Chain A
Amino acid sequence: MLAESLALTAALFIIGVMGVLIHRNAIIIFMCVELMLTSVNLTFVAFSRYYGTAGQVFVVFVMTVSAAEAAVGLAIIIAIFRQRQTIDLKDINLLKG
């Protein structure tokens, strides 16, 4: 089942990347990033079956990082929404040269 897991990981990751590029809603882009993080976890789990359970430890770390990332990112989104009343990335272009 290793090959199938890796193929599924690849497909989910690519769906996440395409979602980040397609959408303009900051929250949905954020969820696409979460999808990319989870899909990588599947690789760790699939390999940990063959190369030792230490791979699952990395899954725990990835989950922690993604939880921290979600907390900070959503706080940033709330702060931006307070400032500009929008989360459309088209309107958030203050840093654009």
Chain B
Amino acid sequence: MIEPHYSLFYVFHFYLFGVIALASAVTFVTRTSPVAAALWLVNTMFSLAALYVMLDAQFIGVMQVLVYAGAIMVVFLFVVMLLNLGHPSAYADARGTGWKLTAGLVGLGLLSEIMVIARAKLPQQLIIPREFSEQQLQKLNAVGSIAEPLFKDYLLAFELTSVLLLVAIAGAVVLARGRAVGAR
């Protein structure tokens, strides 16, 4: 696959946000305090949103900031504060050395798997002509190029998503309400 030529400005910022995302992810995973971990994860989400914008997916970038950094992580922080896990005695420590070794081995295994997959060749009929998405982006705008397949080809999946969300809301309310469910 031939990639177009990118300016140094673009490449520099792509790598910059990539490194920020990676560094915050590593910091996130080594924290034992849930609040610190959540904030580092928000940092990762933000730099991923910047990468989405650079990859011509502006709408997805905005969604990333609104949904992930704005909504999901706030829910996480709410739960942390609701359970009053702020003081250090409530922290669960990391697991022992055996688990860490296992984690390292699993990580290496996944990495080698990806190395193998990266050598595979894509079947010819799956490849869409190179300028396809650029043409689509010019014809429709950034939102329209997502909305058109979403409401035409994937309409059934989109409608089923609403059922999924409804079930999730009902399930969350029932689970979190606790003992009072049977009372009335």
Contact = CB atoms under 8 A, between A and B. Distances in A.
A68 B79 contact: no
A60 B68 CA distance: 11
Contacts of B71: 67
Interface in B146-167: 146, 149-150, 153-154, 157, 161, 164-165, 167
B28 A52 contact: no
Given A10-B111, A53-B133, A2 B1 contact: yes
A87 B82 CA distance: 13
A72 B28 CA distance: 23
A69 B165 CA distance: 9
B175 interface: yes
Contact of A63 (B37, B67, B91): B67
A49 B133 contact: yes
Interface in A2-46: 2, 4-6, 8, 10-19, 21-28, 30-32, 34-35, 38-39, 41-42, 45-46
Binding site of B, secondary structure by majority: helix, strand, loop or mixed? helix
Nearest to B132: A52
A30 B171 CA distance: 17
A59 B171 contact: no
Binding site of A, secondary structure by majority: helix, strand, loop or mixed? helix
A60 B150 contact: yes
B175 A4 contact: no
B79 A78 contact: yes
Interface of B: 1, 3, 6, 11, 14-15, 18, 21-22, 25-26, 28-29, 31-32, 34, 37-38, 41, 44-45, 48, 51-52, 54-57, 59-60, 63-64, 67-68, 71-72, 75-76, 79-80, 82-83, 85, 91-95, 99-100, 102-104, 106-107, 110-111, 114, 118, 126-128, 130, 132-133, 136-137, 145-146, 149-150, 153-154, 157, 161, 164-165, 167-169, 171-176, 178
Given A31-B38, A57-B149, A67-B72, 7 more contacts: A23-B92, A23-B94, A27-B79, A45-B52, A53-B146, A75-B174, A79-B175
